[in-house]
Structure 1
Amino acid sequence: MKLKLILLLLFCSTLFANASQIDTVFVESESMTKSISNIVILPDSYSAQKESYPVLYLLHGAGGNHTDWISKVPAIKEYADQYNMIIVCPDGNATSWYFDSPVDEKMRYETYLSKELINIIDNTYNTIATKSGRAITGLSMGGHGAFYLAFRHQNVWGAAGSMSGGVDIRPFPKNWDLSKRLGDYAEYKDNWEDNTVINMVYKLKGDGLKLIFDCGVDDFFYDANKRLHVKLVERNIPHDYTERPGGHSWDYWANSIKYHLLFFSDYFKI
């Protein structure tokens, strides 16, 4: 597969003592015939001639874009240095839900993330180009997306997380353009049942995919996350699950990402 890549912006941040390199990368997606923006954060130690680096794919939520994490939680630049990992923030469209939509052939973000972008990142940067060197997490829609993609592509990602994730989309048939991605719930119920994360637990076996997720007890996705936790326990699937005070907010996610990064760093060291 040949994909065009345009490296638009390359600069060294002067905001911190350890100056992470931040690239803005445009990838020409063949599956959607359009250019998609991505932020790539390289640790200060990065060198294309030296060691290979693990990569964390960090997804935004509904209504957001690829700049959300770097602008709302600028400390992730420091975290890239601290954990010596590459962090990739893709643009997932405001409401793609990271599906290959069964009702809109122009929305193929599963293919983009799991194939096209992975290939570009591994061919452009000095990465550990196996599942042992890849993890994925995200917030809200991105939490759903991270689990959705990792559950379906366990050969690509070795670890996955979700922060306040919409892990059961069925209670929200009128929200966040979900009906545009899956069809009206009353008419296309199978699409909703087949593409909600909580119904995909059967794809997991033992501890083959390392999992971490959490949700604030005041969040509208709290019930779904708690039910997913119970289901994983019933299926004897190892995972780290935390519920703590908080709602659906950047204050919560700025705190949550710290725990996810530690979890993934430990995974990359195994």
Structure 2
Amino acid sequence: MSKFRTVEISDPRFEANNLRHITIKSKNLKHRGDISVFVPPGEDHKNLPIVLLLHGVYGSHWIWSQKTGIHLKMKSWIENKQVSPMILVMPSDGLWGDGSGYLPHNHSDFEQWIAEDVIDATIELIPQASKTSLLFITGLSMGGFGALRIGTKYGYKFSGVSGLSSITRLNEMKKFIEEDLSLLKQDIIENESVFETIMKHKKHLPKFRFDCGTSDSLLEGNRKLHHQLEEQGISHIYREYPGGHEWPYWEEHIKDTIHFFDDIINPKNR
């Protein structure tokens, strides 16, 4: 029996480039939510690792695939044995305003949409996924905020976490959205900070990394997070690369994240 009141999934006859598309009625969103899924070719795949890719402001479920070609890159990397087969799950953020922040607010729980509904839908609808699949989460900008915060908050679920050009404090959303920031304010204050979330759950953290471009307006916040974690002795990886807050940076450096996850899946490969 399905966990969702309504489910729609694309017909394989009309799918292209190993992308599947799902729409479910989410009890956490209280409306429908969309998910795009890259499934590696091969009928024998079972229990494949699941990677959640979260988008930034202004985007939706389609944007990772159609702005970076990540599904085409993954197919090539897998075929060339550069990485292990993985399922890429690309959900919308819930489509609130310019960006939901992947937080609970305004009568919808955009955090649980990701941490619960999207995972459940993948396991239920994608035969190559299962309850024993390893889970990973990553994202860019607002999606990096969501990935780092949700991934470390629910460290018992996730084997690895990564953020690209991440918002690190809710206050940084002001750079991007037209909605009043007070609409996203949280009753649980650590929800507004990646660092505070990590500190609250520091006894059960998964492996995590984050990176940022040296011309990015969010660089200062990423450096501050790195230094705070160093001061607290929290194990992590932080990298800086040339580039700004832009799609060419994310298209290039998502591979660093995928390799990081692959090293967790197969620690002796590299």
TM-score bracket, shorter-length normalisation = 0.7 to 0.9
Deviates more, 1:78-87 or 1:89-98: 78-87
3-state secondary structure, aligned to 2:240:
strand
Q: Which AA in structure 1 matches 2:162?
A: G
Closer, same or farther: CA 238–91 of 1 in aligned 2, 3 Å: same
For residues 146 and 157 of structure 1, what CA distance do their matches in structure 2 show? 10
Partner of 2:165: 164
Equivalent of 2:253 in 251, 256, 269: 256
Closer, same or farther: CA 156–181 of 1 in aligned 2, 3 Å: farther
Is residue 222 of structure 2 the alignment partner of residue 225 of structure 1? Answer: yes
Partner of 1:215: 212
For residues 166 and 125 of structure 2, what CA distance do their matches in structure 1 show? 30
TM-superposed deviation, 1:128: 4.7
Closer, same or farther: CA 50–193 of 1 in aligned 2, 3 Å: closer
CA offsets 1:187-234 (integer angstroms, 9 cap, x no match): x7x666542212222134368411111001111110010011111112
Is residue 252 of structure 2 the alignment partner of residue 247 of structure 1? Answer: no
Q: Which AA in structure 2 matches 1:69?
A: W
Long gaps (5+) in structure 2? none
Closer, same or farther: CA 230–178 of 1 in aligned 2, 3 Å: farther
For residues 188 and 151 of structure 2, what CA distance do their matches in structure 1 show? 19
Partner of 1:203: 200
Partner of 2:61: 66
Partner of 1:17: none
Long gaps (5+) in structure 1? 14-19
Partner of 1:2: 3
TM-superposed deviation, 1:32: 2.4
Question: Is contact 2:35-2:118 (8 Å) kept?
Answer: no
Normalising by structure 1, we get a TM-score of 0.85
3-state secondary structure, aligned to 2:104:
coil
Closer, same or farther: CA 98–264 of 1 in aligned 2, 3 Å: same
3-state secondary structure, aligned to 2:158:
coil
Q: Which AA in structure 2 matches 1:68?
A: I
CA offsets 1:7-66 (integer angstroms, 9 cap, x no match): 0353454xxxxxx41101101101222111110000112x3x543200100011001111
For residues 178 and 155 of structure 1, what CA distance do their matches in structure 2 show? 33
Question: Is contact 2:143-2:166 (8 Å) kept?
Answer: yes
Partner of 1:51: 46
Partner of 2:137: 136
Q: Which AA in structure 2 matches 1:154?
A: G
CA RMSD of aligned residues (A): 2.3
Taking only the aligned residue pairs, the percentage that are identical comes to: 27
TM-superposed deviation, 1:173: 4.5
Deviates more, 1:199-208 or 1:224-233: 199-208
Partner of 2:115: 114
3-state secondary structure, aligned to 1:170:
helix
Is residue 100 of structure 2 the alignment partner of residue 96 of structure 1? Answer: yes
